[in-house]
Structure 1
Amino acid sequence: MTKKLFARALTAALFGAALSATALPALADIKDYHFELVQQQAKVGEAVLTVRLLDKRTGKPVPDAVIFAKRIDMAPDGMDEMTSKIEQIASTEPGIYRFKAKLTMAGGWRVSLGAKVQGETGTVEDKLVLQAVK
């Protein structure tokens, strides 16, 4: 009789484990996220740059990321040493991140960003290219 109870208990435990394993959320990889520019061009001078952080799996914006690294330079035009100031400013839309930058001349500018996504390990890093026009 104990053999029969043990077999039933084991079957129930295995069935319960199988059900709970399928209920676990899919874990994301930090490579499942990326930044993209909202506008590909900006005017020379004081510019507001808008980027979107997206989850590649769903296409949805990712809110509340902590952007800890930002840089802007003219690397696309072969002038890596030509940098400018860039600072993050407030945004009212989730998943949208805005920056104020001084684009000192027309040409290609590279925006480099590093961010931490809530609940994920690792860092999202992207390099985006925009065109500054007069």
Structure 2
Amino acid sequence: MFASNFGRATALALALASVSFATAARADIKDYEFQLVEPQLKTGEAIVALRVVHKPTGKPVPDAVIFSKRLDMAPDNMAGMTAPLEPLPATEPGVYRFRTDLTMAGRWQLSVAAKLQGEDGTLQSRLIVKALP
């Protein structure tokens, strides 16, 4: 009887240890960030590219699911001036590209939100793209 209970207790302890180890191995959503590939673009048709990076390692994060995006001129007090963002196929892991039309020179704010594979929470950011004439 003692051996049977000891075996169950050992199995339970191992199971709990593996669960807590798996939880501890996860990163915090604050360990990730969006970065613009090019912070300055020419007005007109343009490709806005950003990468998702794991800050402690500097490595790109592939397979993020970007579910919210907006490009507007809020930094220049014209939040109503928006531009379309059309997703484009990835050309390298961790880089997410969008076709747009920057109709006016100035500062454009890219608001973006994504879910990362295996992580809880939502990665959100507001990045400034400068459109040059």
Alpha-carbon separation, structure 2, partners of 1:71 and 1:20: 41
The code of the aligned residue for 1:62 comes to V
2:54 paired residue number: 55
Number of paired residues? 127
Long gaps (5+) in structure 1: none
TM-score of the superposed pair, with normalisation by structure 2: 0.83
2:115 paired residue number: 116
> RMSD of the alignment, in Å?
2.4
2:80 paired residue number: 81
Moved over 3 A (4+): 19-25
Please give the secondary structure, in 2, of the residue aligned with 1:31. Answer: helix
The code of the aligned residue for 1:71 comes to R
Residue 20 of structure 1: how far off its partner (Å) = 5.8
Residue 83 of structure 1: how far off its partner (Å) = 0.8
Alpha-carbon separation, structure 2, partners of 1:26 and 1:59: 17
Q: Which has the larger radius of gyration?
A: 1
1:128 paired residue number: 127
Alpha-carbon separation, structure 1, partners of 2:91 and 2:46: 18
Alpha-carbon separation, structure 1, partners of 2:125 and 2:103: 22
